[in-house]
Structure formats: structure tokens, C-alpha cells
Amino acid sequence: MGISGIISAIVIGAIIGLLGRLLVPGRQHIGVLATIGVGIVAAFVGALIAHALHVDHTKGVDWIQWLIQIALAALGIAALERFKARH
């Protein structure tokens, strides 16, 4: 992965993380870097799941893949928030 791929992963991860964060009700006490990290992981895992389900290459925007990634980001943010609340 080149520098452009790393920058793209960070940007896409930030977008997915922020969208996932919007889905979690209430205030989250996690930082921006944690949100981006969760978004990057959700983007990669969501892409793998979409590929396994054969919904990763569609005509136009891959809405199903985006929905999977955003849902995973929301779950990741909620899990991280719950983990931080316990410690």
C-alpha cells in the first residue's frame, strides 16, 4: 500500500467512523483518533464481508458495502465506549 492508499484509508475510515458515531445514541467519550481507528477497521472488515457476500462490486455506488461498514463502525464505537466506561 502506497502513501495514497494510506491517506485514502484514513479519509474513508474517518468518514465511516463519523457516520457510525452518529448512529450511536448519546454522547461518546472517545477521541477523534479512536473514531478514525474504528472507522478504518470497520472499512476493512466491512469490505471483506461484502466481498464474501458478493455485494462489493455493483453498478454505481456500493450502498450495501457502505451500510455494512457503517453498521460495523457503530458497533465498534458502542463497544469501545462501553469498554472505556468500565475502566
pTM, two decimals, is: 0.85
Distance CA 64, CA 46 (A): 10
Q: Which three cell numbers stand for residue 10?
A: 484514513
Q: Specify the pLDDT at position 1.
A: 57
Q: What is the 3-state secondary structure (H, E, C) of the chain?
A: CCHHHHHHHHHHHHHHHHHHHHHCCCCCCCCHHHHHHHHHHHHHHHHHHHHHCCCCCCCCCCHHHHHHHHHHHHHHHHHHHHHHHHC
Q: Specify the pLDDT at position 8.
A: 79
Q: Are 21 and 73 in contact (CB under 8 A)?
A: yes
pLDDT, mean of each 10-residue run, the chain (87 residues):
76 89 87 89 89 83 87 93 83
